[in-house]
Chain A
Amino acid sequence: MSSLENNGLCIRELQVEYKGGQVALGKVTLTLPEHGIYTIIGPSGSGKSTLLRAVAGLLPGYSGELLYNGKPVHDKDTLVGLVPQNYGLLPWKTVRDNIRIAMKITGTAAADKADRETRITRWLEAMGIAGLEGRYPLSLSGGQQQRVAIARAFAILPQIMLLDEPFSALDAVTREALQQIFLDNWLAHPATALFVTHDVDEAILLGQKIVILPAGTGKRTELEVLDNAAVFGMKHGEKRDSNAFFEQTKVIRKVMQEKW
């Protein structure tokens, strides 16, 4: 195989089983180019969270291969920024401390403490939460907490970003604002990203390609991967009103009716 094919995140025949031997995720093969962003959509129980957790290194037992640029994902060289649905903030740390501890553990900007602090401030400003740095997560709204979680994921400058339905617990207005903020920041710092969602609109708005997981986790046929370059190339604000968006919605709904 040429080295070009090995570029990016390579998931080969990934299979995850529960302790009882039940299959949690069938054999999945997917290649995500470096600096690409794919959205994964699937019904509940299709194993989309399991897929992300396996890539994040949170599952001890899986079979198959997980490579990033030809090397194992769980190598020391490959940093994974995770944004879970429940935000995953440490409630006993302030907003700033939450970001700082992630940077400390990953050794981001370790040489210069002042530099680290200015970077934290910059990320907080980018997420529009500069005023909240001294607050504790429990005193924040869901949208604010998710902004912190995204800031933290970007702040460690990861090679891979994994987002597990990050906006699904938020109201529509907050969700749209955060989609915009996330995409703007991702375009400025394009980490190789997998974005899991159960929202069709969100999948179309944020992905270069859309991966559709079929219902049930048993024997899996080829994954349905839709090219979404047409919509992805537009300005974020114009996507929703475009024809391409509308067409894409129809295609996905059709696949969903057949496979779910």
Chain B
Amino acid sequence: MNKRINHVLRLLFVFAGMNLVWYIVYLLMNHPILPSPGSVYKAMFQLDGHEVLLNVGYSLLRIFEGVLLALLIGLLIGLLMGRSPLWNKLLDPVVYLTYPIPKIALLPVVMLFFGLGETSKVLMIMLILLFQIIISVRDGIKAIPETTYDVLTSIGASSVQKFWNVTLPGALSVILSTIRVSLGTAISVLFFTEIYGTEHGMGFFIMDAWLRLDYPEMYAGIMLFSLVGFVLFLLVDLLDYRFMRWRR
């Protein structure tokens, strides 16, 4: 318990330090493109709560849909590749060749095929995450020693039972750490996709404030966006804490 309080205190201290640096730079620059922390926080609290909630909600929904889709497809393909040497042989070159393609460069293609609406935004997030999830699921599954299945096999467990009791929990830690790493990328991509074809979402909010030259509000948007990312990180930590208890 003491450790946790210590941890939170340290985080708060770093946060305060960052604000201090910001304030000093503000004083040195003395220019409207960098408002003081105080005016940004003031702008943040003057924001329309309903509107903020709507924007954050849209962004979160897109991330969730993208992550969920990537997880579903990635788990399926990764499982296939991890458990079946034949499928691994077939799909490995595909993954190998497509992995290095910078997915963000596909944004115009996705926009051409799926329009400017929600579909292309969610698909972009999915594309960014998918390949990393496929590879980590496959490797995570391969890393489970075959002997882990022995007892269940000998008592006649079905493939489905083996999946739920061995394969999935065994690969979960790798899946979680992949989500943690790729979540950062997903949020950046989300920002890009929210610049066009929408009037909701954090990306839209920030760029809108920027166009209106309302810098305090723009920075407030960036802070809020960061907060959303932070909360998502905490969520993954929470999942890790819940499902990885056996490792401690």
Contact of B156 among A76, A91, A149, A152 (CB under 8 A): A76
With CB as the reference atom, state the residue of chain A lying closest to B169.
Answer: A92
Of B152, B165, B170, chain A has the most CB atoms within 10 Å of the CB of B165
Of B147, B155, B157, B165, chain A has the most CB atoms within 10 Å of the CB of B155
Residues of A in contact with B, size category: 20 to 34
With CB as the reference atom, state the residue of chain B lying closest to A152.
Answer: B151
Within A187-203, which residues are at the interface with B (CB < 8 Å)? none
Are the C-beta atoms of B246 and A91 separated by less than 8 Å? yes
Are the C-beta atoms of B148 and A90 separated by less than 8 Å? yes
With CB as the reference atom, state the residue of chain B lying closest to A82.
Answer: B154
What 0/1 readout, one digit per residue, does chain A (84-99) give for beta carbons within 8 Å of chain B?
Answer: 1010101111100000
What 0/1 readout, one digit per residue, does chain A (134-176) give for beta carbons within 8 Å of chain B?
Answer: 0011110000000001001000101000100000000000000
Shortest CB distance B131–A (Å)? 26
Shortest CB distance A124–B (Å)? 17
Contact of B166 among A86, A90, A156 (CB under 8 A): A90
Are the C-beta atoms of A58 and B246 separated by less than 8 Å? no
Q: Considering only CB atoms and an 8 Å cut-off, how many residues of chain B contact the other chain? A: 21
Contact of A138 among B153, B169, B172, B247 (CB under 8 A): B247
Contact of B246 among A92, A105, A152, A156 (CB under 8 A): A92
Are the C-beta atoms of A102 and B247 separated by less than 8 Å? no
Q: Which residues of chain A are within 8 angstroms of B152 by Cβ–Cβ distance? A: 101-102, 105
Q: Which residues of chain A are within 8 angstroms of B155 by Cβ–Cβ distance? A: 79-82, 102, 105-106, 156, 158
B245 CB–A CB distance under 8 Å: yes
A57 CB–B CB distance under 8 Å: yes
Within B130-172, which residues are at the interface with A (CB < 8 Å)? 147-148, 150-157, 161, 165-166, 169-170, 172
A14 CB–B CB distance under 8 Å: no
Q: Which residues of chain B are within 8 angstroms of A82 by Cβ–Cβ distance? A: 150-151, 154-155
With CB as the reference atom, state the residue of chain A lying closest to B245.
Answer: A136
CA distance A93 to B245 in the complex (A): 10
With CB as the reference atom, state the residue of chain B lying closest to A52.
Answer: B154
CA distance A93 to B152 in the complex (A): 13
Are the C-beta atoms of B170 and A57 separated by less than 8 Å? no
Within A90-118, which residues are at the interface with B (CB < 8 Å)? 90-94, 101-102, 105-106
Shortest CB distance A93–B (Å)? 8
A181 CB–B CB distance under 8 Å: no
With CB as the reference atom, state the residue of chain A lying closest to B164.
Answer: A101
With CB as the reference atom, state the residue of chain A lying closest to B168.
Answer: A92
Are the C-beta atoms of A102 and B170 separated by less than 8 Å? no
Q: Given A76-B156, A105-B157, A105-B161 in contact, is the A88-B246 Cβ separation under 8 Å?
A: no
Q: Would you give 14 A-B contacts (Cβ < 8 Å), ordered by A? A: A58-B150, A76-B156, A79-B155, A80-B155, A81-B155, A82-B151, A84-B147, A84-B151, A88-B151, A90-B148, A94-B246, A106-B155, A149-B151, A162-B154
Task: Across the A-B interface, give the 6 residue pairs with the lowest CB-CB distance, nearest first.
Answer: A136-B246, A92-B169, A56-B154, A88-B151, A82-B154, A92-B246
